[in-house]
Amino acid sequence: MADLAVDLAGLSLRNPLILASGIWGESGDSLSGAWDAGAGAVITKSIGSVARPGYPNPTVEPLDPGGMLNAMGLPNPGIDEYPAEIARAREHGVLLIGSVFGGTPEEFGELAGRMAATGVAALELNLSCPHAEGYGTEIGSDPEDVAAVVRAVVRQVRIPVFAKITPNAADLPALARAAEKAGAHGISAINTVRAMAIDPELERPVLAHGLGGLSGPAIKAIGVAAVWQIAEAVRIPVVGVGGIRSATDVIEYLLAGATAVEIGTAVATDGIGIFGRIAADLARALDDRGVRRVGEIVGRARRGFAVPSAEAPTPGRGAISRSP
């Protein structure tokens, strides 16, 4: 049986399947449930300085086919209350990654320190929520801003720090390089893709917030491309996120260069049992390929790959000489 264990920036994961932030992340019991279902690590809901109820409903709209639209508005109980949930999950033995979001580098630094103090094994910085004014993408789209946040955080903590990058920016490799240079230990990509739905009959946006973020199978190809580009640009590990529902999807991300992956929306469509199922399928799929350790296939699609020129003349092009 192939060994699914991975080393992710110094974290020892029993498998590369991580629960994505914002899914089953509000209560310590749910975090524990995801762990029991077989996740290799579990990321908390993104936590801010104060309690936020989030946007009013509708906050979620399932789309056909294969897409999930949401604008939750970063609901969270705040860093004063949330440690109680973490304590509960830690008692249960869960390998936890704490996600935080802030509006300034100082706020990120302060939150990171307090999150690290709860005993989480690593941090993920939400620099990428596409629908919260003053947070996420708004400060995660500029390499300078990303660097400032990462610097403020790594100064405060001694655990691995992952920067979660937005797909809603022009130059993803530049964001990843900025995070790496500022001291991040890994890059998570991607968060949801800015998106919206309008009810054609009522002629109005469906989500209360109007704009939202798309997740699920509809964004998998975007996530794979992001991982591909970022893995090329940095030396720190990349965690692939977006649209994963099967072991085949995981393999695609690993081949693109991801060391581990996160799974979110599939918990809604397939249930929390998705972690156990994918882990079993992945082990079998690796066996079939004769792969003994999951790490062996990381980035393997890059080997020997070169972009062909679209401009050089190719045989058969040019003058058509079919005349008799």
Partner 1 sequence: MHRIVAIDRRVPETPSTVTWRFRDPTPAAPGQFVMVWVPGDDELPMSLSYTDGETKGVTVKAMGATSRRIQEIPPGTRIGIRGPYGNRFALTPRRLLIVGGGSGTAVLAPGAEALRRDGAEVVGALGATTAAEMLFAERLRSAGARIELATDDGSLGHAGYVTEVADRLLGEPGRFDAVWTCGPEVMMRKVALAARARGVPAFGSVERQMKCALGMCDACALGPYHVCVDGPVFPAETLLGLSEFGRSKRDPSGRLVPV
Long-range contacts made by residues 114-118, C-beta under 8 angstroms, separation at least 24?
A: 114/79, 114/83, 115/47, 115/79, 116/156, 116/157, 116/158, 116/159, 118/82, 118/83, 118/86, 118/87, 118/90
Work out whether 25 is an interface residue with partner 1 (CB under 8 A): yes
- 59 binding partner 1? (CB under 8 A): yes
| DSSP one-letter code for 45 | P
* 221 given a catalytic annotation: no
Tell me what percent of the chain is helix, strand and coil, each rounded to the nearest 5.
Answer: 35, 20, 45
The span of 226-234, 261-269, 286-294, 308-316 binding partner 1 (CB under 8 A) equals 261-269
Alpha helices by DSSP H, 182-307: 220-233, 247-256, 266-270, 274-288
- Side chain identity at 213, as an amino acid letter? G
Q: What residue has token string 């749910």?
A: 30
Q: Under the criterion CB under 8 A, does residue 201 sit at the interface with partner 1?
A: yes
User: Among the options 129, 153, 227, 285, which is catalytic?
Assistant: 129
Q: Which residues pair with 162 in a beta bridge?
A: 124, 186
Q: In this chain, which of 172, 176, 263, 274 binds ligand FMN, going by CB under 6 A?
A: 263
- Contact range with partner 1 by CB under 8 A, out of 1-9, 103-111, 197-205, 227-235: 197-205
Tell me: does residue 27 bind partner 1 (CB under 8 A): yes
Binder among 114, 151, 164, 177 for ligand FMN (CB under 6 A): 164
Binding flag, residue 241, ligand FMN (CB under 6 A) = yes
Closest CA to 75 of 52, 57, 93: 52
| In the complex, least distance from residue 75 CB atom to ligand FMN, rounded to whole angstroms | 8
Beta bridge partners of 187: 163, 238
Contact between 70 and ligand FMN by CB under 6 A: the answer reads yes
Q: Which of 244, 255, 279, 291 binds ligand FMN (CB under 6 A)?
A: 244
Please list every residue from 81 through 110 that binds ligand FMN, using CB under 6 A: 99
- Considering only 15, 61, 123, 294, the residue that binds partner 1 (CB under 8 A) is 61
Q: What is the gyration radius of the CA atoms in the chain, in angstroms?
A: 20
How buried is residue 138: exposed, middle or buried, by Cβ count under 10 Å (0-12/13-18/19+)?
A: middle
Tell me the closest approach of the beta carbon of residue 305 to ligand FMN, in angstroms: 25
Which residue's CB is nearer to partner 1, number 54 or number 113? 54
Q: How far apart are alpha carbons 189 and 43 in whole angstroms?
A: 14
Binding partner of 164, given ligand FMN, partner 1, none, CB within 5-8 angstroms per partner class? ligand FMN
Which of 49, 126, 137, 141 touches ligand FMN (CB under 6 A)? 126
Tokens of 275: 């972690």
For 90, the token pair is 């830690």
- Which does residue 241 touch among partner 1, ligand FMN, none (CB within 5 to 8 A, set by kind)? ligand FMN
Question: Which two structure tokens, joined as six digits, stand for 103?
Answer: 């509006």
Within 10 A of 310 (CB to CB), how many other CB atoms are there?
A: 6
Name the segment binding ligand FMN (CB under 6 A); options: 9-17, 224-232, 261-269, 312-320. Answer: 261-269
Q: Which of 216, 237, 257, 299 binds ligand FMN (CB under 6 A)?
A: 216
> Do the beta carbons of residue 151 and residue 105 sit within 8 Å?
yes
Tell me which residues touch partner 1 (CB under 8 A): 22-27, 29-30, 32-33, 45, 51-54, 56-64, 68, 70, 72, 75-78, 81-82, 199, 201-202, 204, 206, 208, 264-265, 267-268, 271-272
Tell me which residues touch ligand FMN (CB under 6 A): 20-22, 45-46, 68, 70, 72, 74, 99, 126, 129, 164, 191-192, 215-216, 219, 241-244, 263-266
